[in-house]
Structure 1
Amino acid sequence: MSGEPPYSSLKFPAMLPLPMGGVIEFTGYTDIVLVAHFTDPNIVSYKAFSISRQQHVFIKTCGTKLEDITKLRHEWKIFQGLSDSMPGIIKPLALETSSRGLGLVFPWTPEMRPLNSIYLTSSPRISDGSPLIPLDLKTFLDIAAQMANILMHLHAAKVIHKNINPKKLLLNSEGEVYIHDFMIASYLEREETSILAKIYNPKVLEGTLAYLAPENTGRMELCQIEAFWNV
């Protein structure tokens, strides 16, 4: 799209440290700090320093229930099947074991913010004290075009995200869009819902209801169209 992107004037405040409700340990990581998470409230996230990589990282952890552990392992497996050069995807560096379960380790990207924490959208706001900006048509079309390109690459890799919504879209200060959270994603070639839906509740609706495509209601086979329905 032509013209100056509207993102250059945006300010992206860093995530705020929160008091830790106990100590969590990851071998090989120091300076572990609990950070405010802007997505799933059931996901606990930490900023840490990787000794071996000599860089700051973002560690995504979940509960110790079998369902939570299976979801995180499933997300790791999905990422392993994606190319490092795929646009709009931030691949994890490792799957680590902590004193409280598993953690997916990502590069630290403090400038990334969920779409619904920046712009006014129909998705519930994740409050961090910063004002929301109206989502104008030009910005919407720019974001939608980037999303379509990312989804085309995901579908070429036979992966369907299944829960595209403003909370799952990250935007940086340059206006670049990234899709995250593949915990309920599926492989298209298997034509099945996620592993967990079959293990725990074959009738469960996965995803966010307001953005759910008919394919995700169990009335028809899963296909690529459902992701573009979300857009």
Structure 2
Amino acid sequence: MIGTLVNVIAIIIGGSIGLLFRTKIPERMFKIVFQAIGVFTLYLGVSMALKANELLLMVFSLVVGSLIGEGLRLEERVENLSELLKRKIGSKEDKFSTGFVTAFMLFCLGTLTILGSIEEGMGKEPTLLMTKSVMDGFSAIALAAVMGVGVIFSVIPLLIYQGGLTLLAALFGEVIPEVIINEIAGVGGILIIGLGISILEIKKIKVLNMLPALLIEVLLCYIFL
């Protein structure tokens, strides 16, 4: 799990640098940077979503996964966790939860997360996760400058999620076909599009409640592909 640990450290360092710039950026700059992040998030989501070919499986996974997530109230639970962390550290930032959730989704739903975790889990050098660490570190600078310290605390769920994928890959990585990885990335892309829409304040979408769609997609791919 060296790659994931390096990823966590890179985000903490990048986020800390972003916090230093936060006090020096005028309010009007925050707004335009926030919009730029939202537009980029939409682009990232579309580019990932286009990798999927099995659209019926994608739709079914999103519908069923969203129902499961809504039933489990995942978004509410994560927001409660972020509020708990906010109280523990005595933060008064309005965007703490937004930064926490946005950073987690951006750092964890990309193709590099899946491929990098599989690469390291299979015992190879964590080249992809190292590359991802550099990218996430620079992204954390911009995110933390706009959204605050919540971005840094997103490393907690990232460590659990990405580390968990690495451990699973150590057990099953050699039997995961590339076609399934692409389909998972496609569903992840749809979730990131939803995140971008929320960031741009077009409409609030409960993206976290849709996360189980990733697991449903894996099951359906193994059954039908």
| TM-score of the two chains, using structure 2 as the length reference | 0.27
| TM-score of the two chains, using structure 1 as the length reference | 0.26
